[in-house]
Structures are given as structure tokens and as C-alpha cells.
Chains A and B, each alone.
Chain A
């Protein structure tokens, strides 16, 4: 600690650097604060001079307005349903894929792994239109499966599991199970999977968050307000003439809350997971 490089800072420099960092942190937090402030004020109060800066008391009436405009709880339910289904599918498919690359030798291993990593380089918008057509062909328009299945075997997850299996599942364990007559699927399911806890935990967090925030896929395939996930439903309330700002903010706050809580509980692990994924990917 004491031999850190910039000990020689002048007091003035130190104070102003701290002030800048704290100011920056306040700017980062301010929008979240304003979201909760707006969520608890009626529309007329939000557009006053000066705008309200302290939480009000109208949160529940805002929620009531919100439910008149959109089927809020249904949308929230779909968001949860899709995020959980996406997370479970990712955990299964990515752990299977990562396990295969870590444990087996097979003829197409190298080219297949290159393909997996190559998918990271394909910009998602390139396949947007044909993807829509595929969904249409499969009859998946307006169905949640269109949101959670296609992206569930992501390269990032497969790579993460592969690295984790390579580094922390002893090969001898697998060999021993095989000698005892254990089938390949049993080895994966009952022996390896329970050892993957930390990797799968991080993958679950990242999958849940990305699905919860996903906007473009539902924008393309979801057609009816009843089937919208939350971001889409909230966006549909945006209106050039009279947007119900208080209600929309109450909805946004409720949509953001699960993630903020999740983030508060897991931020260290989440950041480490995202960064290691980004750095290796």
C-alpha cells in the first residue's frame, strides 16, 4: 500500500482529484435518483420549474395509471419468464458445449471452436431481418420462445465454462468414473456439473441481466402489448403529445429495481465475470 506510485501528489492535486471523482460518482447516480423521484410525483409536478428534487408520495397512484395504460404485471411476468428461461437454457447449453471442448478430443474440435469464437465477431444486426423471417417461418412471432432460445448457446458462456472445466475439474476424476462404467452423460450431469458452481453462477447473472434488458429482439418479434416484455411495454407509453411521465418512471423504477438489488449483492463477481469475458473474448 505504501509504495504506490503516486504518493508524491500535492495536497491540492489530491483534493481536486477526489472532488472530481466524487462529483463524477454523483453524476453517475443522479439519473437513478431522479428516476425514483419522478416515480413518486404526478405528471404535473414533474414538469414544474424547478422540477421536484425530493421523493414524493404519488408512487401508488402512478402505478395505477400505469396499469390503465399497459398490462404492467403481465409484461413484468413475461420479462421474468423470458429471463429465467434464457438463463436456464444458457446454463444447460453453454455447460454442455464448454464441457465438450474441455474434455473430449474429436476430429472437428479445432474448427468448431473457431466457429464458436467467430460468432462473437458477427454483428447482431446483420442477421436481424432473416432472423425475423425464421421466427415467422417457425410460427414464433409473438411467442416468448423466440426471445430465450436462439441466443442461449452463446460463445461467451461456452468459452467461460470451457476455461473453468480446464482449470478446475481434474481429468482423473472423469477417467475414474469412466472406468467404473459411468456413462458420458452421467459423468457430465452428476460429477462435473456440481463442480462448476462459480462459473455457472457468473454466467447465470450475466444471462439474466442481458435478457432482462434486451430490447431489440422483442422489438422485432413481439407484436401484441399483452406479450411485450417490460422495456418494450414502457417504450410503447412514450408518446409525443402526452406521455404519463410519472407512471412511466414508476414502471421504469420497478423494472430497474431487481437489477439494482442483484447488482448490489453481486457487483464484485459480476464485474469480474463480465471483464474476464470481455478480456478473453
Chain B
């Protein structure tokens, strides 16, 4: 029987699905959004209404209060929801790694579970939990502390903390699992030698575990930065799709989505997405610098 595909062409045949999908749904949209960022265009008017406007979209954003506000919200959320995840995940991973035998998988499973469930379903649930007068969160807080009920999702000052709480809940287990993977790669002999030399558990944590975790820290902090800056679903659902009162919960990704599909301004929306991309790239680079800088210092 004659083979269907010649050996020479076989790799291209096998890669054809990837190449086709990548070109149509990856590369082309990417290039086109770069073009769009320099155009003024209302999609309802048809392709012919597209006009080149140079940097006008970006100039508009520099003056746009909502854009700056969304950027501030995004950065605020990335830091306040991101940093505590790592501060909790590292000790938690160490505890699970060192202390848990039989319960290990159950504990990991429980902390990891929020990560795999539907963000939207859980965000809808959280909007009920955050209810001012009847919400479980306020009721629980008031059970332990005498305090006023907090208007989580109505008061502009409280929307971001509420979103950050949910984001923390959702991703802390994921980071814990990443750190666990890194801890498992540290040879046990390292600790045995340190114990023989009389190093206390605290010293071992600060002088062995933490330095050896640094590559994973860089990696998972980078993931948090990239993911956090693109935050969309949690604030979108918690604020009913509109960013909440005074736009206090509107992230840049939400602003971009609204500009495109609510205000029908594809040009400005593309300019927002590229601006956000620049911020993501810049902060990813800064994260790497920060970690490299630390290494040189020690």
C-alpha cells in the first residue's frame, strides 16, 4: 500500500491544524488590533468608515479619567490580591510539605478547589455573600466583632477589597501548589546537613528554604502579575458588568471590553488593550529585575 503522506511533508501535515488556527485566530487578530489602535472606527458603520487617526486614540487615553482610574484599580487589585497570596502560600506550602502525611492530598485538594470551579458561578455566589444586610460575610464578622455592617459592593471604597478577597480565595491554592512543587525538588540532605550543623528550623527556613524557592517565586509572582493585570471576570460579575459605583471596580480589561462592545469604539478599545499590554510587559520586566537585584545583594 502506498503511504498517504510522504515523509518529507509529514511534519507539516501534523502541524497544519496549529498553523491554520494560529494564523486565523492568533497572528491575524494580533496584527489587526495593532492597526485598529491607530484608527477611528465605529463597527456599526461598516469597514469603510475606518479612518487613520495616528496617535489620537492614545492621546485621548492620556487625558481620559476613566482610563487612568481603571489602570489605578487594576494595579491596586494586582498588588492587594496578589501579594498576600504569596505571603500565605509560601508558609502554607512549607507546612504541608514538612508536616502533613496522611492528610496531605486532602488539604492540597481543598485549597486548590476554588481554582478549578467556574469563576462566574463563584462570583455570583460571592455577590450574595457580600450583601450588606443579609450577607454571610457581614454576619460572620459581626458575630466576632461588634461593628457596623460593611457595604461591600455599593460603597466605592469597599468594592476593591471585596474583589481582592475573592481573587485571593481563588488563587492562593494554585500558588501553594506551585511552591510545593518547588519544595519537593529541594534535596532532603540539605536540611539534614543543616540540622547536624545545629541550624534551627527558623534559620533553615530563612537561609535554605527561601533562597532555594527564589526561582519559583519569580515564576509564580510573574504569573500573578500577568494574570492580575488582566483581571476581568471577578470584578465584571461582582460589579454587574459596569465597574460598580464610581467605577471603583472597573479594571482596564473591563474598560476595554466596555469601550468596544458597549460604546462601539473599536479603535480606542484596541489602543487600551495595547497600553495595557505595555504595562504588563513593563511590570513583568520590573519583576524580573527586582528578583535579579535581590540575588546580587545576597
Asked if B181 is an interface residue, CB under 8 A from chain A, the answer is yes
Contact A234 B120, beta carbon cutoff 8 Å = yes
Residues in chain B near residue A255, CB distance under 8 A: 118, 121
Residue of A nearest to B123 (CB): A235
Asked if B191 is an interface residue, CB under 8 A from chain A, the answer is yes
**A28-63 CB contact bits vs B (8 Å, 1 = yes)?**
111110110010000000111111000000000000
Given contacts A29-B110, A249-B128, contact A235 B139 (CB under 8 A): no
Which of B17, B177, B178, B200 has a CB less than 8 Å from the CB of A92?
B17
Contact B28 A49, beta carbon cutoff 8 Å = no
Enumerate A108-136 residues with CB–CB distance to B below 8 Å: 109, 112, 115-116, 119, 122-134
Residue of B nearest to A252 (CB): B121
Which of A50, A131, A252 has a CB less than 8 Å from the CB of B125?
A252
Enumerate B99-122 residues with CB–CB distance to A below 8 Å: 99, 101, 105, 107-114, 116-122
Given contacts A234-B121, A260-B117, contact A4 B98 (CB under 8 A): yes
Residues in chain A near residue B230, CB distance under 8 A: 123-125
Contact B113 A184, beta carbon cutoff 8 Å = no
Residues in chain A near residue B167, CB distance under 8 A: none
Most buried by B among A122, A182, A213: A213
Residues in chain B near residue A30, CB distance under 8 A: 136
Given contacts A25-B107, A249-B128, contact A50 B15 (CB under 8 A): no
Residue of A nearest to B180 (CB): A275
Which of A5, A50, A184, A235 has a CB less than 8 Å from the CB of B10?
A184
Residues in chain B near residue A17, CB distance under 8 A: 95, 99
The CA of A124 and the CA of B22, in the complex, are separated in Å by: 13
Asked if A96 is an interface residue, CB under 8 A from chain B, the answer is yes
Given contacts A125-B232, A129-B36, contact A271 B201 (CB under 8 A): no
Residue of A nearest to B136 (CB): A51
Which of B32, B95, B107, B205 has a CB less than 8 Å from the CB of A133?
B32
Residues in chain B near residue A248, CB distance under 8 A: 124
Given contacts A31-B169, A47-B134, A238-B127, contact A259 B118 (CB under 8 A): yes
Query: For chain A, which range describes its interface: under 10, 10 to 19, 20 to 34, or 35 or more residues?
Result: 35 or more
Residues in chain A near residue B201, CB distance under 8 A: 5-9
Which of B43, B136, B280 has a CB less than 8 Å from the CB of A34?
B136
The smallest beta-carbon distance between A273 and chain B, in angstroms, is 11
Given contacts A24-B92, A275-B177, contact A238 B121 (CB under 8 A): no
Contact A150 B25, beta carbon cutoff 8 Å = yes
The CA of A184 and the CA of B63, in the complex, are separated in Å by: 59
Contact B33 A127, beta carbon cutoff 8 Å = yes
Asked if B266 is an interface residue, CB under 8 A from chain A, the answer is yes
Residues in chain B near residue A8, CB distance under 8 A: 200-201
Contact B5 A275, beta carbon cutoff 8 Å = no
Residues in chain B near residue A125, CB distance under 8 A: 230, 232, 253, 256, 273, 276
Contact A130 B119, beta carbon cutoff 8 Å = no
Chain A contact surface mostly: helix
The CA of A188 and the CA of B126, in the complex, are separated in Å by: 47
Asked if B12 is an interface residue, CB under 8 A from chain A, the answer is yes
Which of A46, A128, A131, A133 has a CB less than 8 Å from the CB of B134?
A46
Stretch in A70-78, A99-107, A196-204 with 4+ CB within 8 Å of B: A99-107
Contact B4 A185, beta carbon cutoff 8 Å = yes
Residue of B nearest to A235 (CB): B120
Contact B261 A220, beta carbon cutoff 8 Å = yes
Contact A96 B22, beta carbon cutoff 8 Å = no
Contact B25 A31, beta carbon cutoff 8 Å = no
Asked if B206 is an interface residue, CB under 8 A from chain A, the answer is no
Contact B119 A271, beta carbon cutoff 8 Å = no
Residue of B nearest to A29 (CB): B110
Residues in chain B near residue A97, CB distance under 8 A: 14-15, 17-18
The smallest beta-carbon distance between A170 and chain B, in angstroms, is 19
Given contacts A9-B201, A17-B99, A46-B128, contact A126 B109 (CB under 8 A): no
Most buried by A among B6, B15, B25: B15
Task: Give B residues with C-beta under 8 Å from A.
Answer: 1-7, 10-15, 17-19, 21-22, 24-26, 28-30, 32-33, 36, 43, 88, 92, 94-96, 98-99, 101, 105, 107-114, 116-122, 124-129, 131, 133-136, 139, 169, 173-174, 177-178, 181, 188, 191-192, 194-195, 200-201, 204-205, 208-209, 219, 223, 226, 230, 232-233, 237, 240-241, 253, 256-257, 260-261, 266, 269-270, 273-274, 276-277, 280
Which 3 pairs from chain A and chain B are nearest by CB?
A: A183-B3, A127-B29, A130-B29
Apart from A153-B17, A255-B118, A268-B105, list 10 A-B contacts with CB within 8 A: A3-B192, A126-B29, A133-B29, A150-B21, A153-B21, A184-B13, A231-B120, A238-B240, A251-B121, A267-B109
